[in-house]
Amino acid sequence: MNFSLCSTSTELDYCVLRSPVASRFFSREPVIRFDETWKKKCFSIPRCGAAYRARALDEKVLASSSTHIAPGHLEDSSSIAATKKKSLPKREPVERLGLVRTLLIDNYDSYTFNIYQALSTINGVPPVVIRNDEWTWEEAYRYLYEDAAFDNIVISPGPGSPMCPADIGICLRLLLECRDIPILGVCLGHQALGYVHGAHVVHAPEPVHGRLSGIEHDGNILFSDIPSGRNSDFKVVRYHSLIIDKESLPKELIPIAWTIYDDTGSFSEKKFSTPVNTSLSPSRNGSVISPYVDGKQDRHILMGIMHSTFPHYGLQFHPESIATTYGSQIFKNFKDATVDYWSCYKSPSLRRRMINETANMQVHSACQLLKELSRTRNTGNGSSYNSTSLSTAKKNGVDVFDLVDLAYPKPHTQLLRLKWKKLERLVHKVGGARNIFMELYGNSRGKDAFWLDTSSTDKARGRFSFMGGKGGTLWKQLTFSISDQSEITSKHTGDLLIEDAHGSTEKRFLEEGFLDFLRKELSSISYDEKDFKGLPFDFCGGYVGCIGYDIKVECGMPVNRHKSNAPDACFFFADNVVAIDHQLDDVYVLSLHEEDTAEISFLNDTEEKLITMSVSSTRKWKDQALPAIDLSQRKASFVPDKSREQYINDVERCMQYIKDGESYELCLTTQNRWKIGNTDPLGLYLHLRERNPAPYAAFLNFSNANLSLCCSSPERFLQLDRNGMLEAKPIKGTIARGSTPEEDELLKYELKLSEKNQAENLMIVDLLRNDLGRVCEPGSVHVPNLMDVETYTTVHTMVSTIRGLKKTDISPVECVRAAFPGGSMTGAPKLRSVEILDSLENCSRGLYSGSIGYFSYNGTFDLNIVIRTVVIHEDEATIGAGGAIVALSNPGDEFEEMILKTRAPANAVMEFCSGSSERH
């Protein structure tokens, strides 16, 4: 789906980013007219026209000054009333079902697949997920009424507001027309339910994102078996800047849940403390409370509504969040309400009974239904695709069934065999991993070599390191650059340079992008599990390298506004690997070869080198002179792309977007640059790893691209192990270490209890749960560690862990595609946030915010997030840094946090280049 940027001038002041929705939804004339037997005309929605888009966010800013957002209602109240009288024919009733089939409307949100995961287990069958602009009303009518394929509808959260058709798509139509089908609207869906019946949607007293509130409800069926009141343990997570004005509720909408304006707090506060009792409580008869209590304006905010005659419900909070209590119970109650609703009908027709028998299908059959429905969907640019055309589907976004690799695994594959040797208790004898790397690859100063380096002193955070270089017969190097986006029709295309072990090169033009190429390469390899049985790690050879941030265009993100000077992806195929077990002190030497061409010289030669090494003989690397540093560079330093004033201004613009509901969280970044001149990247990395050791550190050198990466990342993006378990470990929340042990503990405690940092972390945890939920088995996504604080050399960080079991029909590369870029580097909702960030940031992030790691030939992978990293390309060193902007952000503090994250790698570079560091 393509996106456009609207602004009031050539300046990008307060732009609204909108996804163009097919005009078939929003014509002023009735877009669909059914025959007379149906006695129904289409309800028309006014077009979100050019004038509206040109005014963009400036109108929203003006509206916010009066609290009210411009209504822009659906023609007028009389037309709504007229439409209500002309209802669609009644659907045939349904028998009580063991399984409930849900149509889940995705409003381009980053939490939709958390709902999908919950409903899959509760309903007994996965929902069908469509985006809000994916079906015409004719298609929706067919599936909902002619085929009776669904028992209820859930409308997801999403960015924006229900007043803009581009944000809400077909949802308003469904809420008006499908009055005899149970519907649950969450957040934006809740606001749409109020708006479509005439209620006003206004700015909340304050934006609330990633924070919790207590809820009081009226005992509605949606809250069965759930306690009520501020003193109960019913706490919900809120992600919203807009609310329904309770004073504007029409009589047909009934309030069913409330919270108090100032009853918001952090996850830890709400989880471990009991709120003060309050005498304020909503009435139990469903009426709206008086606007004044004890002479003060009423502080209650609507958190739930229902229609008085339609089976329609709305919830302002997010029941799918990991931190919402009783969230699963709410979805179960909605299922029960659906079953109760349909059981009230008598004499179901034979056709309906046949549909019900279909409902009692297994999950696999439900997935086939979704694939069948997906075959006929239209893409945003008018082209169609079928279930075998993955690349076409991805031009306009990636959903869960776009990710199913129908050609995985391939029948005609190349069988690779693995040979390996274990050298026990050797690491400490030779002086550690550093000396091993220098002995094997130091003579060439790490040219065309890699080192995935667990340099952290805490072995629990990283047990294994891997290193390798050029030399094996299967070795090759891939260098990929995305085509200039302004000159192409497909945003995936790019140029790939392949260099083999003999130095021969081949150029290819990739029409479907790098990830698709990598997927095909990996699926063309087969293996024998017996070859790596007994190895305690998953990487046994395969592709090692880096993926740049701009590869996001292959993952359903908008077209890149900026082009990177460096390559967008660089990888080696490593057939010879040395692995180090830091916990047990063992070294493993591994070699891949084709089935009939066994080659063991690397194993024997490497074993001989390592065994004959001694600590004294390897000290030469510490004393060896390096190339001279240009004296003119010694007094230089990194220069940020943006001044303090410019960065703070961007933070304020981010906060305005958040206030207007366009995003929950925006991860704003910038680049710091230094013309470093003639330096030694390997020597620089060795200094960096001593000054700032990290569990996901790395050194990479790609000579034909004139590119080196010196990485000290503490963050894992995504890992897939040989058991099919996916794991993400996002970091959100950072604070500097203290100068004394006492101060250090206080700062650590401050981070742990910070409401802002907890909100940041919770939002990204829910986002990663969503990303994993797209490719994992229903019910398998879980969070074993939430908001742990980890300590590193220079900072404390807040880290969470999310895991899930990968579906068997989804390839490893498609798992990465579902989650890339890492949510901790984008914000949420991801799609809208990325487009906003592209409009604010004045250059490509390049390899920063991307990933470094491996794709093993045996189907496993492990990738980091490229942060705390020095990228050296064509004699320029760059360090990217930034932070998450939320409603609670302080612009000045955000600038200081960005500088803090830059400090460790920047200081290491300046020390090394000034000669003040010990030469390695």
Q: Are 713 and 852 in contact (CB under 8 A)?
A: yes
Q: Are 267 and 212 in contact (CB under 8 A)?
A: yes
Helix boundaries (H) for 145-300 = 165-168, 171-177, 188-196, 267-272
**What pLDDT, on a 0 to 100 scale, did the predictor assign at position 916?**
54
C-alpha torsion 381→386→387→392, nearest 10: -40
**What pLDDT, on a 0 to 100 scale, did the predictor assign at position 527?**
93
Classified as helix, coil or strand, 544 is strand
**What pLDDT, on a 0 to 100 scale, did the predictor assign at position 22?**
28
**What pLDDT, on a 0 to 100 scale, did the predictor assign at position 856?**
98
β-strand partners of 589? 421, 578
Place of tokens 């990395």: 685
Which residue type occupies 563? Answer: K
Active site residue 843: no
Q: What DSSP state is assigned to residue 146?
A: I
Measured CA angle at 179 (ends 175, 185), to 5 deg: 40
Burial class (CB in 10 A: 0-12, 13-18, 19+), 509: exposed
Place of tokens 């924070």: 211
Among candidate residues 42, 171, 187, 815, the one labeled active-site is 187
Q: What are 164's two structure tokens?
A: 């803009």
Among the listed residues 778, 764, 830, 802, the one whose alpha carbon sits nearest the alpha carbon of residue 109: 830
CA–CA gap between residue 772 and residue 318 (Å, rounded): 18
Active site residue 320: yes
Burial class (CB in 10 A: 0-12, 13-18, 19+), 446: buried
Q: Are 515 and 817 in contact (CB under 8 A)?
A: yes
Among the listed residues 599, 244, 578, the one whose alpha carbon sits nearest the alpha carbon of residue 440: 578
CA–CA gap between residue 737 and residue 757 (Å, rounded): 16
Q: What DSSP state is assigned to residue 68?
A: B
Among the listed residues 524, 494, 528, the one whose alpha carbon sits nearest the alpha carbon of residue 512: 494
Q: Are 431 and 615 in contact (CB under 8 A)?
A: yes
Q: Are 114 and 773 in contact (CB under 8 A)?
A: yes
741 Cβ partners below 8 Å, 6+ apart? none
Of the CA atoms within 13 Å of residue 439, those in its CB half-sphere come to 24
Q: Are 645 and 653 in contact (CB under 8 A)?
A: no
CA–CA gap between residue 282 and residue 830 (Å, rounded): 36
Place of tokens 């790698």: 905
Taking each continuous run of H as one helix and of E as one strand, the counts in the chain are 24, 40
**What pLDDT, on a 0 to 100 scale, did the predictor assign at position 458?**
63
**What pLDDT, on a 0 to 100 scale, did the predictor assign at position 764?**
94
**What pLDDT, on a 0 to 100 scale, did the predictor assign at position 73?**
39
CA–CA gap between residue 769 and residue 645 (Å, rounded): 36
Among candidate residues 216, 320, 499, 814, the one labeled active-site is 320
Among candidate residues 318, 492, 593, 796, the one labeled active-site is 318
Query: In terms of DSSP bridges, do strands 795-805 and 782-791 run parallel, antiparallel, or are they unpaired?
Result: antiparallel
CA–CA gap between residue 219 and residue 234 (Å, rounded): 13
CA–CA gap between residue 791 and residue 735 (Å, rounded): 10
**What pLDDT, on a 0 to 100 scale, did the predictor assign at position 615?**
55
**What pLDDT, on a 0 to 100 scale, did the predictor assign at position 416?**
94
Active site residue 894: no
Q: What DSSP state is assigned to residue 359?
A: H
pTM equals 0.83
Classified as helix, coil or strand, 772 is helix
- For 302-328, b/e burial (b = at least 16 CB within 10 A) is bbbbbbeebbbbbbbbbbbbbbbbbbe
Place of tokens 């990465």: 816
Q: What are 134's two structure tokens?
A: 């994916």
> Mean pLDDT in runs of 10 for the chain (920 residues)?
31 32 28 28 30 33 35 38 45 59 96 97 95 95 94 97 95 96 98 97 94 95 95 94 95 96 78 45 36 51 97 98 97 96 63 40 44 41 28 36 49 84 94 94 94 76 91 94 72 91 94 95 94 95 97 91 95 97 95 82 93 64 45 66 95 96 95 90 94 94 96 96 96 90 93 92 96 96 95 90 96 97 94 95 96 97 97 94 93 93 90 65
**What pLDDT, on a 0 to 100 scale, did the predictor assign at position 368?**
52
CA–CA gap between residue 418 and residue 436 (Å, rounded): 22
Among the listed residues 190, 183, 176, the one whose alpha carbon sits nearest the alpha carbon of residue 25: 176
Phi, psi of 617 (to 5 degrees): -70, -25
Among the listed residues 766, 765, 803, the one whose alpha carbon sits nearest the alpha carbon of residue 782: 803
Which residue type occupies 765? Answer: V
**What pLDDT, on a 0 to 100 scale, did the predictor assign at position 793?**
83
Q: What are 171's two structure tokens?
A: 């949802």
